[in-house]
Structure 1
């Protein structure tokens, strides 16, 4: 083998050793950062970012924008106005009926609220839940 060939092998050997050292360093860092944690803890952390965990922090208008139904038994009168077809006065009447009934048991009970006929009920129903 020529002198240049030997130099090239030595140079490549040094690069390979450097690459291996880099990989070992990455493995060490991974172990030191994650090694003392249980797998279940890591999985739980990943689930914390799920949409459903954060939905409770959204305003009624944000929920409506995302297509998340509003809870009739917990939403404020202001929040209920985010639903198409519900203004301030109708939202107030819905809350009064909710208090009177000690909470709605079925969405169809909205029909007993003054100002909610069949047409309005059909418009509201897809946007509410219990």
Structure 2
């Protein structure tokens, strides 16, 4: 992973709106157009109606015209590692391959690398719907 993806996730984290959990989270996607799209969590008093960092970044990627996640980095300010929640794992899998690398970061850099398959084995796929 390029260090720039970690830095983009860390920089995105400062834009988080996390007044309730007090846990700012940032995410950065390198997409199939080779651009980096970032997102931060945006909490809302009407839990769980806020946005996690990962779907915020996915939304920017889609609005930017890209369609596939090549790799992704996730970082949280007050946690040693912040793996995506279950809902985010499914959202990420919609735009990633089983081999897409997901980097779990702390304030210094990447601490753990997982593939999408490791993060969400036996994910729900649209092909199952027929």
Fold match (TM-score > 0.5): no
Instruction: Tell me which protein shows more helix as a share of its residues.
Output: 1
Q: TM-score, normalised by structure 1?
A: 0.24
Instruction: Tell me which protein shows more strand as a share of its residues.
Output: 2
Structure exhibiting the larger radius of gyration computed from Cα positions: 1
Q: TM-score, normalised by structure 2?
A: 0.24
